[in-house]
């Protein structure tokens, strides 16, 4: 039976008792509105650990004032059922007061080299909020392994760097993107799309796949790959491009010539809904 915890001391007490029994802990941090992508992380954690802990917390510090914090989907009843069905042992459901107290003074600032590119260009405060809440969650849960999704690739790189720099004793595992039948990366924000936007959004992954083929057949200039994706999106959808970039998959530095392990990433808005996606190409 899944146990639910809403306070840090009660969760700490349980985790200490499990560690005294030498139980390994896998942790999946989420903001809820669970979908198959989240469930794949839970299943991987279930395979690799004795105990699986899931957190659901819509973190206000990673949303800018003009973003969708208030509208972000909250489906707690359904999330609880899905979590238990997938084998979650402990569910952590803190509120903002529990996580941050009444007057927080400390936050985690990540190297700007990792955050001023890609999503960080248009969301300059986002990764400070992400790094801070994940650091707090790691301190609370003290897992052996934590599971993240490749869809949020920049977030995964930032969190790995933060955990390494701050000496967290945790192994961070990045799991593949899960997609809908038409290729759209699974995301809680997909629920915002109307029927037309949903149809057009499938072109994002189609464009990335075609770009991968161009790279595999010899195109090494990032500008040509970016221009190809931009033209494909602008000619066939009503989406507004935030960015299209080719970066080193480990350092996130933009590359002009595609060599080694490269990530081709994009962010496109359909109406008010901002979608992100990426592929990794070994050149």
Contact (CB, 8 A) for 151 and 119? no
- For 208-258, write each residue's pLDDT tens digit: 999 999 999 999 999 999 999 999 999 999 999 999 999 999 999 999 999
Active site includes 38? Answer: yes
What six digits make up the tokens of 187?
Answer: 């995301």
Which of 222, 225, 227, 223 lies closest to 211 in space, CA to CA?
Answer: 225
Angle formed by the axes of helices 8-20 and 126-141, nearest 10°: 50
Length of the chain equals: 283
Exposed, middle or buried by CB within 10 Å (0-12, 13-18, 19+), for 260?
A: exposed
Q: Which domains are present in the chain? A: 3-175 (3.40.50.620), 188-278 (3.30.1300.10)
Angle formed by the axes of helices 126-141 and 153-165, nearest 10°: 60
Looking at residue 66, its pLDDT comes to 87
Which of 34, 29, 17, 30 lies closest to 191 in space, CA to CA?
Answer: 34
Looking at residue 104, its pLDDT comes to 82
Q: Of 38, 66, 126, 236, which is the active-site residue?
A: 38
Q: Which residues make Cβ contacts (< 8 Å) with residue 187, sequence separation at least 6?
A: 35, 37, 151, 275, 276
In degrees, to the nearest 5, what angle opens at C-alpha 279 toward C-alphas 189 and 237? 55
Looking at residue 51, its pLDDT comes to 98
> What residues of the chain score a pLDDT lower than 70?
none
Looking at residue 248, its pLDDT comes to 97
């Amino acid at each position: 039976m899944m146990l639910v915890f809403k306070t840090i001391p009660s969760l700490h007490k349980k985790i200490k008792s499990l560690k005294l029994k030498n139980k390994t802990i896998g942790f999946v941090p989420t903001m809820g509105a669970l979908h198959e992508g989240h469930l794949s992380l839970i299943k991987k954690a279930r395979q690799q650990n004795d105990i699986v802990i899931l957190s659901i917390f819509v973190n206000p510090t990673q949303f800018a004032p003009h973003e969708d914090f208030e509208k972000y989907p909250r489906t707690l009843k359904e999330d609880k059922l899905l979590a238990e069905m997938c084998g979650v042992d402990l569910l952590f459901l803190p509120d903002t007061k529990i996580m941050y107290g009444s007057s927080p003074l400390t936050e985690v600032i990540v190297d700007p080299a990792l955050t001023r590119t890609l999503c960080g260009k248009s969301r300059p405060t986002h990764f400070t909020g992400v790094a801070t809440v994940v650091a707090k969650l790691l301190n609370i849960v003290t897992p052996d392994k934590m599971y993240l999704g490749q869809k949020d690739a920049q977030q995964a790189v930032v969190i790995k760097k933060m955990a390494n720099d701050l000496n967290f004793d945790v192994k961070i595992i990045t799991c593949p993107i899960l997609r809908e039948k038409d290729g759209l990366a699974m995301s809680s924000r997909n629920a915002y799309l109307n029927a037309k936007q949903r149809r057009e959004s499938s072109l994002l992954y189609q464009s990335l796949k075609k770009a991968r083929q161009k790279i595999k057949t010899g195109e090494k200039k990032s500008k040509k790959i970016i221009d190809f994706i931009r033209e494909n999106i602008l000619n066939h959808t009503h989406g507004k491009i935030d960015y299209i970039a080719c970066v080193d998959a480990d350092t996130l530095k933009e590359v002009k010539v595609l060599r080694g392990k490269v990530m081709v990433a994009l962010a496109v808005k359909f109406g008010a809904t901002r979608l992100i996606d990426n592929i990794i190409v070994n050149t």
